Amino acid sequence: MQERPDINIPRLIAAYYTEGPDISEKGQRVSFGTYGHRGSSLNNSFNDAHIAAISQAICEYRAAEKITGPLYMGMDTHALSEAALRTAAEVFAANGVELRMQQGLTYTPTPVISHAILQWNSAGYDTTADGVVITPSHNPPQDGGFKYNPPSGGPAGTDVTKAIETRANEIIENKLSEVRRMPFKKAASAENVRFVDFVEQYTSGLADVIDMEAIAKSGLKIGADPLGGSGIYFWAPIAEKFGINIEVVNKKVDPTFSFMPLDHDGKVRMDCSSPWAMANLVALKDKYDIAFGNDPDYDRHGIVTADGLMQPNAYLAVAVDYLFTHRGGWNKNAAIGKTLVSSSMIDRVAAALGRRLCEVPVGFKWFVDGLLSGELGFGGEESAGASFLCRDGRAWSTDKDGFIMSLLAAEIMAVTGVSPSEHYRELMKRYGTPYYSRQDVPASREEKEKLKKLSPSDVAAQTLAGEKITAKLTAAPGNGAPIGGLKVMTANGWFAARPSGTEDIYKIYAESFIGSDHLTAIKEEAAKIVAGAF
């Protein structure tokens, strides 16, 4: 039996306030990755100084861009989220930002902040709103995270995050002398700070995006496991408002997440796509018609049926097939968005539907503009994150939304009488059975840099696992953006290689529609192709 990691919350919080970054150390600088700045106070990468500097940099960015509407700020249930929210509020209030937080200082999921931003910006006000979500997503309890969502409502693009990151590090180098700040008690009572009911604001509109009436009429017994996350206080109001039968299977909020089964590597990780982390809910599968779990900031989903936990790619394909045949209010030309490391089952479903496929690099930010304009009906990524349009074609959220992806599973079952996993079996009968894998391969920093800069001409191979190579990609076909790696495709398989931003590894994603042996051959040849390109 694996021994649980020791998670000392008092020490974590003490380090947040008493320790600080050495700006000469790369790992202690502000660094916005795919989903914001992440780190831990225990290694001086997520401390009061980081959050004060980032918040001041956001204030300056807002001023430069003339963003004067409300800044909606929410946090998840990680221990450092509470501390970071207070730091940020002190800075935002002192800078005169129209700050909006959840009443009672309870938790606010990522999609709720995105939805609030879009609601304000579509209401015809003279000012523009943006937001901040304080979360490290499904990362272990000792981690913290801080991400900025601009007026588009979704994750900020690289141009925005780079500007904020650079300025925040300058502020830290200058010993925080440029940070405006006031005590939290004074900030909480400031005229420019208000506490609002995000639960009511978000819940009241759910029928615009999900057929809640069909779910209610079906009488489905639904299980919801918040995994101790920020959506824990949303399910009861949702059940009451729409008359649906939802039972919250775990009502605990605990910053050590002691109720979580250990993940595959022995870490505490609230990963709703992991069969290890979701073991408690999977054990209850026969008690419910459909069940789901979500990560702490509710931007991801894990769907549990009578067959167990669905693989993320499988549910994405089912969601696409259902939505594009049951949403008559959508633009007939609305495309299907997927990341290039998501399953090609989605490609096959899209082709059968006669819909354009928009394949983009990894990162939900690539879907934001398409969802906002309605050019994309759906955007999803292989790590169990997705969002889609309202039933009439308006944007609902431009960040990943675990609520609506979870409720969609119930809608699918209510409307069709068939579970999402049964739907997926039908898709496999029609389009073939995919075998999908992801693995980590050791790589030096120099090798990772070479992988980022590869061109198709660097790949000499003409075949992959016995099939002719049909495409060698270093830019995404959906938008032409660099993928920061390589994707090689054949008629019945593909692999993609991407360097990790934080570890000395690169990731190989691979898929075969022929069989497990073919998948193994693809992975083995992929490693050789990448090594040859180095």
Which positions are annotated as active-site residues? 137
Helices 345-353 and 312-326: angle between axes, nearest 10 degrees: 10
Q: What angle do CA 458, 461, 467 make, to 5 degrees?
A: 140
Cα separation, 224 vs 314, whole angstroms:
20
Shortest CA distance to 144 belongs to which of 262, 273, 54?
Answer: 54
Shortest CA distance to 182 belongs to which of 52, 54, 14?
Answer: 52
296-308: string of b/e by CB count within 10 Å (b at 16+)?
bbbbbbbbbbeee
The helix/strand/coil state of 359 is: strand
**Backbone phi, then psi, for 145, in 5-degree steps?**
-150, 150
446 contact partners, CB below 8 Å, separation of at least 6: none
- 156 close to 150: Cβ distance less than 8 angstroms: yes
SS (H, E, C) 285-299: HHHCCEEEEECCCCC
Six-digit token pair at 146?
């801080």
Q: How far apart are the first and last CA of the chain?
A: 41
79 contact partners, CB below 8 Å, separation of at least 6: 9, 12, 13, 141, 142, 255
Decide the pairing of beta strands 385-388 and 245-248: unpaired
- 303 close to 290: Cβ distance less than 8 angstroms: yes
Shortest CA distance to 302 belongs to which of 280, 271, 268, 332?
Answer: 271
Sheet holding 385-388, edge to edge: 357-360, 335-339, 376-381, 385-388
- 120 close to 365: Cβ distance less than 8 angstroms: no
Cα separation, 276 vs 273, whole angstroms:
9
H or E segment to which residue 337 belongs: strand 335-339
Place of tokens 């994405």: 316
Q: How crowded is the C-beta side of 69, counted as CA atoms within 13 Å? A: 19
Shortest CA distance to 296 belongs to which of 466, 157, 532, 107?
Answer: 107
The helix/strand/coil state of 426 is: helix
- Going through 125-199 in order, the beta strands assigned E by DSSP cover 130-134, 144-149, 193-196
Q: How remote is the C-alpha of 501 from its chain's centroid?
A: 17
Sign of CA dihedral 467, 472, 478, 482: positive
Helices 9-18 and 79-94: angle between axes, nearest 10 degrees: 30
